Amino acid sequence: MGNGLNRLVTKARPGDRRRCQACGTSALPTLTAHHIIPVEFRGRDTLSNLITLCSNCHRIVHWLATGDRSLEAHAYGLGQPGIHRRELLELARRIRRWRLRVVKGGILTPPVPLKMAMDAVIQRNGMDGTEAMLMNRCFKRALRAMRANDRKQCSVRLPRGSRFISVIANSTLVIRAPAWGCDNERCEENFILIWPKKDQPSAMSPSRFRHASDWRSKRIPEYVWLRVTWDECLSLSKDDWKLFRKACHEAFTRRARPYVSNVERL
C-alpha cells in the first residue's frame, strides 16, 4: 500500500469511527480500506471509494460482491448463525449494486482477452506445458458443450490474483479452471462443472461420483458442482456433456442478479 493510500486510510478511519463498517470491530490492527469499485474496474484511491473493514470482513465482502461465492462456503470464521450475517450480506449487495451502476453493461471496458486471462491462470498456478494444454482443452470443450445463447449470457471472471477463471450463469458457477476450494487452496481435482446430482458420468464409479460431487448448489438444489481431473473431464461422453449443457441452461431459468465480467464475452 503506497503512502498516498495510507494517508487516505488514515483520513477514512475517523469518518468510519475507526470501526469495521460490517461487523463493528474497533481492533485497529485488523482494520483496512476496501475499494468499493475495485482497482481493476477503474476504482480510484479516493475517500468516496473507500470503506473501512476488518481483515475478516474484507475477505468475505470480496468473495460475496464478486458474484461466484456463497456465504456458507466462504465465511472465514463468520460461523453459524453469525451475529453480523445480515449486515455483511447487505453491505456486499450494496457494493455490488454500486459496481453494476458504474461498470456499464456489466463488463469491464476494455475487457481482458480470454487468451490473456487463460495465460495468466497458467502462469499464476505454475502449470507446465502439458497441464496448460489440458486446461485449455477442457475449458474449450466445456464451452462448446453449452448452448450458444447461454454462452453469450455468461459472465466470465478472472479474480484478482489470477488464480482461476470462472464462468457464471446468472449467480451459479458453471465452470472453474482450475478448481479452488473454500480453504483458498487448489483442490485435489483440476476442474469444476455444474452437474445434475442424480446423474453420474458414464465412466465414473458411484463412490468416485459421491466424492467428486460433495459440493451442493444451494441456489439450484438439484445440481452439484462436480470436481474432476483433467483426464476425467476429457473422458466425458457426448451424453455426459448433454447433462452439463442442460444444467447450464437450467441456471438461466432461475431469477438472479447479473454479475460483472472482467474477461471478454464468450
Confidence band of 85 (pLDDT split at 50, 70, 90): low
pLDDT digit string (tens) for 25-50? Answer: 777 777 878 877 766 666 677 777 78
As a whole number, mean pLDDT of residues 122-132 equals 90
Judge whether 20 and 35 are in contact, CB under 8 Å.
Answer: no
Domains of the chain: 3-102 (1.10.30), 107-263 (no CATH)
Query: What pLDDT does 2 receive?
Result: 47
Query: Is 30 within 8 Å of 56 (Cβ atoms)?
Result: yes
- Is pLDDT larger for residue 236 or for residue 34? 236
- Please give the pLDDT value at position 132: 94
CA neighbor of 95 nearest in space, from 179, 148, 38: 38
Q: How much is the pTM?
A: 0.63
Contact yes or no for 235/44 (Cβ under 8 A): no
Phi and psi at 55, nearest 5°, equal: -60, -35
Q: Per-residue pLDDT tens for 244-253?
A: 999 999 888 8
Secondary structure E strands in 107-178: 107-112, 155-157, 165-169, 172-177
Q: What's the confidence (pLDDT) of residue 66?
A: 54
Q: How confident is the model at residue 228 (pLDDT cuts 50, 70, 90)?
A: very high
Q: Mean pLDDT for the chain? A: 78
- pLDDT, average across residues 192-208: 92
What pairing do the DSSP bridges indicate for beta strands 261-263 and 107-112? parallel
Provide the percentage of residues in the chain whose pLDDT is more than 90.
29
230 pLDDT more than 90: yes
Cβ–Cβ under 8 Å, residues 71 and 64: yes
Nearest CA-CA partner of 57 in 21, 86, 111, 9: 21
Residue 211 has pLDDT above 80, yes or no: yes
Cα–Cα dist 248/68, whole Å: 15
What is the structure's pLDDT at 71? 39
Confidence bin at 163 (pLDDT 50/70/90): confident
Mean pLDDT of 63-92: 51
Supply 255's cell numbers.
Answer: 431469477
pLDDT tens digits along 142-151: 999 999 988 8
Taking the C-alpha atoms of residue 57 and residue 54, their distance in angstroms, rounded to an integer, is 5
- Say which residue, 159 or 72, is predicted with more confidence: 159
Yes or no: say if 58 and 23 are a contact pair by the CB < 8 Å rule. no
Instruction: Calculate the alpha carbon distances from 141 to 29, 144, 191, 233 in Å.
Output: 47, 5, 12, 9
Residue 165 above 60 pLDDT? yes
17/169: higher pLDDT? 169
